[in-house]
């Protein structure tokens, strides 16, 4: 049994999966706190019957060396302040949340009680607890916060099988913006492709069959070659005629589509030049056609 005592506040997907994994790795799980008996019952059946559960978080946090606040983002600060106000934190403890968008500084009330604060964000999207238990061990964990807490969290993440990615607290918004672009905007771009197929009468099922192998192949190329070498297509080739044709065709569609095409092409020109397959001069010509 490892010496570190861990308490988890927030019995949802991430909290329950972490409770399961910490227990499995031999950590002392002090308990799991949640807002209602229903979610706690469900969580304890997934973690194992011996886990202590409570709706009063300060009952378990005071005993722990490491407190994970895994509530929904909007509740983290309020939950932290509530525990702090009831004497649930102590000096030397580490208090962590798992949000990707919020900085560790929202845990200031714990810091005011002498705790070291940090955030520990698994850079993944988990559909449910079972999925999270499977994926967390191979996830990247973004870490930021008190420099004294980072080595301890690094060790913990590695113990789970994850890979730590430490950043400065001030860099968190840019870190999260990058994650949103890679995850959410990829969805938006694929959605745009579906809409363009729809415009020429290709139904969604056929669009999926046609487009998803292309998306998967592209992701595979990025994985093996990196984003610059993975770029193919008319901009990488400097094919001005094809780009003119796209712009002409897009004119009759939803005006947002041509705006997105223009803006994304603008950055794509930079990639083509970096790749070495597009000359700076041809790149300028493309930017002129795009009107950007």
Ligand X SMILES: NC(=O)c1ccc[n+]([C@@H]2O[C@H](COP(=O)([O-])OP(=O)(O)OC[C@H]3O[C@@H](n4cnc5c(N)ncnc54)[C@H](OP(=O)(O)O)[C@@H]3O)[C@@H](O)[C@H]2O)c1
Q: How far is the CB of 93 from ligand X (least distance, A)?
A: 18
Q: How many CA atoms lie within 13 A of 219 on its CB side?
A: 11
What burial letters (b/e) apply to 195-229, b meaning 16+ CB within 10 Å?
Answer: ebbeeeeeeeeebeeebeeeeeeeeeeeeeeeeeb
Q: How far is the CB of 281 from ligand X (least distance, A)?
A: 45
One DSSP character per residue, 218-262 reads HHHHHHHHHHHHH--SHHHHT-HHHHHHHHHHHTTS-HHHHHHHH
- Residue (15 or 234) nearer to ligand X, CB: 15
CA distance 259 to 169: 34
Q: How far is the CB of 131 from ligand X (least distance, A)?
A: 9
Bridge partners (DSSP) of residue 8 are: 32, 68
Three-state DSSP class for residue 40: helix
Q: How far is the CB of 107 from ligand X (least distance, A)?
A: 12
Q: Taking the CA atoms of 215, 221, 226 and 230 in sequence, report the sign of the dihedral they define.
A: negative
Q: How far is the CB of 245 from ligand X (least distance, A)?
A: 40
Contact 235, 263 (CB under 8 A): no
- Residue (88 or 122) nearer to ligand X, CB: 122
Q: How far is the CB of 202 from ligand X (least distance, A)?
A: 31
Would you state the structure tokens that stand for residue 27, as one six-digit string? 């950590």
- Residue (142 or 265) nearer to ligand X, CB: 142
CA distance 85 to 159: 32
- Residue (34 or 272) nearer to ligand X, CB: 34
Contact 8, 33 (CB under 8 A): yes
Would you state the structure tokens that stand for residue 260, as one six-digit string? 């997105």
Q: Which residues bind ligand X (CB under 6 A)?
A: 9-15, 34-36, 39, 70-73, 75, 79, 98-100, 121-122, 124-126
- Residue (122 or 238) nearer to ligand X, CB: 122
Q: Residue with the closest Cβ to ligand X?
A: 12
Q: How far is the CB of 98 from ligand X (least distance, A)?
A: 4
CA distance 29 to 61: 11
- Residue (117 or 286) nearer to ligand X, CB: 117
- Residue (36 or 203) nearer to ligand X, CB: 36
Contact 69, 97 (CB under 8 A): yes
CA distance 107 to 96: 8
- Residue (35 or 218) nearer to ligand X, CB: 35
Q: Are strands 66-69 and 53-54 parallel, antiparallel or unpaired?
A: unpaired
Q: How far is the CB of 123 from ligand X (least distance, A)?
A: 7
């Amino acid at each position: 049994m490892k010496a570190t005592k861990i308490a988890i506040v927030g019995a949802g997907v991430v909290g329950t999966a972490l409770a399961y994994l910490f227990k499995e790795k031999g950590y002392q799980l002090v308990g799991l706190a949640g807002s209602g008996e229903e979610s706690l019952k469900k969580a304890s059946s997934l973690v194992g019957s011996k886990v202590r559960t409570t709706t009063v978080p300060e009952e378990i946090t005071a005993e722990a060396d490491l407190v994970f606040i895994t509530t929904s983002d909007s509740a983290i600060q309020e939950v932290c302040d509530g525990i702090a106000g009831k004497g649930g934190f102590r000096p030397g403890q580490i208090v962590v949340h798992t949000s990707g968008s919020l900085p560790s500084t929202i845990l200031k009330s714990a810091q005011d009680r002498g705790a070291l604060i940090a955030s520990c964000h698994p850079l993944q999207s988990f559909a449910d607890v079972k999925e999270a238990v499977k994926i967390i061990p191979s996830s990247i964990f973004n870490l930021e916060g008190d420099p004294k807490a980072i080595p301890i969290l690094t060790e913990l993440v590695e113990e789970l099988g994850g890979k730590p990615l430490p950043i400065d607290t001030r860099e968190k918004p840019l870190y999260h913006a990058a994650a949103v672009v890679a995850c959410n905007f990829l969805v938006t771009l694929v959605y745009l492709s579906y809409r363009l197929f729809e415009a020429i009468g290709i139904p969604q099922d056929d669009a999926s069959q046609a487009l998803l192998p292309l998306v998967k192949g592209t992701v595979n190329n990025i994985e093996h070659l990196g984003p610059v070498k993975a770029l193919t297509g008319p901009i990488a080739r400097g094919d001005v005629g094809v780009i003119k044709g796209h712009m002409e065709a897009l004119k009759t569609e939803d005006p947002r589509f041509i705006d997105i095409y223009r803006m994304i092409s603008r950055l794509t020109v930079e990639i083509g030049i970096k790749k070495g397959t597009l000359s700076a001069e041809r790149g300028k010509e493309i930017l002129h056609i795009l009107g950007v």
